[in-house]
Structure 1
Amino acid sequence: MLLRIMSWNVLHGAHREGRWPRLAEIIRANEPSIVLLQECRGWLERDMSQVIAAENDLGMRVWVGFSASGGHTVLAHRRDLPVMAFESNPYTLLHGYGAGRFAIPGLPVPLVVISAHLTPYSVDAAAAEVRTLVARAYRYDGLGVIGGDLNSCPVGDPEPPWAEVQPYNRMIRCLPRETPDEPWRANTIVGRTLTDGQMIDVAAHLADLRGDVSLRAATGRGRVRVDRFHVTAALRDAVVDYWRVDPDGASDHWGIVTVLDTDRVDLSQVRAYT
């Protein structure tokens, strides 16, 4: 079974500015099985009109992960995918998270798919947040996907042109400097935390496997590949594709898509972790 998972930061909810129809059109064109959205402000207003519109426009079941900050996360999936449960927690992360648990045919344990949006204000705080997500990804015997806006620099990517990056983003995403003349260097604490949790960076994995550095291209205005998928170790060999999606002016982030072949899951690494 091929699962196509798409993630996108939609920029402040997208519906009030009239960007949602174009976003929905682009999402449909990529034919995802599961969609992860971030920064879904206003999606939990009283009449739930945007959730209803998203379900109609995507032809999917839509779940909203409540965020105390108002920047809700969303998980949507094809209606034929057997979902076992949905969980969210608005208090462990600044923007909360939303996680679906799926009973995928042929897999002996559930597949956990998490829509994540880490804090943009501190990579140290983001590293603390991502530890919660790694624990949730492994919670049901070790098949998990984290996708979303991780607001940080990944391990192994080329240094961005830091002089062209907004000063506040540069300050947050770089290591402290001893002197003003010292060059800026990416702080990869979030990526290293994910690596320590045996989470595989999908784009980096395929870039190295294929010798294609273009897969490491930036996804946000800050010239960094902030939007990423990370999968648990048992899913490494199941990753068969990845690409970026041009927002065509509908968001300030590129969308990203990965494809998993569930026949390639390493079942020897599936075990109870709890």
Structure 2
Amino acid sequence: MPRLLKALSWNTKDGGAVDEDGVPANRWRDQVKLIAAQEPDVVFLQEMRDFADQAVRARWEDELAAHGRPLRLLVAPSSDRNHTVLGYDPACIRLEHWDDRWSHLTAMGFGVATVVAASPDSPIPDGMRLRLASLHLFPGSRLKALQDAELIIGRLWRKGGQHAIVGGDVNYCPEGDPEPMWERLPRNVQMARCEERTHPTDVLRADFSIARKLEAGRLVDVARALYLTDGDDAHLDATGQLRVRVDQFHVTEPLRRAIRNYHRLDTTTSDHSPIVSEYDLASADTPRQRALELRPARL
């Protein structure tokens, strides 16, 4: 039986390449060490500064290999210098297709990888075509974020796609999670991420349209699914500066049964916490199983 697939997602804050003032920094070396120590099979990375430059990408790949975790890194171009990246272990995972044709239509960039097993010890079962996408939704406008989310969900499901994992910085509140003290946050944050108020004295409340769009796309919030199963509040711990669980894993509905673990890591090398999850892909629903479950009952 295939082993668990381990995934790590992280907004690295400028790829660990600069400090708060834009001065070159070496945070990225500590970030590589953290990633390698987790021994992930796949990684979902955001804000990977200058990764359109092959030399920058090669530097990360070489450093990962030096720490015992050689990963192949794929870049989905962003409209700025901070790109969205997907990585996988080529020793056990084979890339069948990489689709970043629509990256230019999104604010932060995205691509969808279709991968299959590359070895007998792969965590991907024989015959499964798994889709992976690193997600970074635009924080400045929920309308743009909604448009991008719709596009990404559509690409995940196209041509009969059933099994997909998404990891990334969603930037908006998950429904049902604790909310931050919005009054203490800047006006631009309130404007983009809260419900519109009909009166200036109305209490600020989170807008959940992004979370609902992901759910409408039959994507399952991994941390919340585990919380509803075991009641562990740690699954809902905040991951970003806003004290919100903005960094999330989502899986397509047929992978709900495959979810096994989720946890957040502590670090000072970014303003976001890395998150890690594991999946028993052999337990996933097959298209035939889903069809049988959804078949109308005979009267």
Would the aligned equivalents of 1:143 and 1:270 in 2 still touch at CA under 8 Å? no
Would the aligned equivalents of 1:169 and 1:222 in 2 still touch at CA under 8 Å? no
- Match in the other structure for 1:259: 278
Give 1 or 2 for the bigger CA radius of gyration: 2
Tell me which of 111, 118, 124 is aligned to 1:98.
111
SS in 1 for 2:111: strand
Distance 1:117 1:180 in 2: 31
Distance 1:165 1:260 in 2: 36
Tell me which of 204, 208, 214 is aligned to 1:188.
208
- Match in the other structure for 1:72: 83
Would the aligned equivalents of 2:239 and 2:247 in 1 still touch at CA under 8 Å? yes
- Percent identity reads 34
Distance 2:83 2:155 in 1: 18
Q: Which amino acid aligns with 2:280?
A: D
SS in 2 for 1:85: strand
Say if 1:170 and 1:223 are closer, same or farther in 2 by CA, change over 3 A. farther
State the Cα RMSD in Å: 1.7
Distance 2:224 2:154 in 1: 22
Distance 2:187 2:42 in 1: 35
- Match in the other structure for 1:26: 34
Distance 1:109 1:23 in 2: 31
Tell me which of 9, 12, 16 is aligned to 1:10.
12
Would the aligned equivalents of 1:66 and 1:96 in 2 still touch at CA under 8 Å? yes
- Match in the other structure for 1:149: 169
Correspondence 1:36-75 to 2 at 5 A = 36-45=44-53, 48-58=54-64, 59-75=70-86
Distance 1:124 1:156 in 2: 21
Q: Which amino acid aligns with 1:82?
A: R
Count residues with an aligned counterpart. 268
- Match in the other structure for 2:266: 246
Would the aligned equivalents of 2:103 and 2:111 in 1 still touch at CA under 8 Å? no
Q: Return 194-203 or 120-129, whichever deviates more.
A: 120-129
Distance 1:201 1:192 in 2: 11
SS in 2 for 1:136: helix
Q: Which amino acid aligns with 2:176?
A: G
Distance 2:95 2:44 in 1: 15
Q: Per-residue CA shift, 1:51-100, capped at 9, x if unaligned?
A: 11211122111111112333211111112111112121332211110222
Unaligned runs of 5+ in 1: none
Q: Per-residue CA shift, 1:97-134, capped at 9, x if unaligned?
A: 02221113425341000011111111122111111111
TM-score computed with the length of structure 1 as normaliser: 0.93
Q: Return 197-206 or 67-76, whichever deviates more.
A: 67-76
Distance 1:31 1:270 in 2: 35
Structure 1 segments of 4+ aligned residues over 3 angstroms from their partners: none
Distance 1:96 1:270 in 2: 33
Deviation of the 1:270 alpha carbon: 7.8
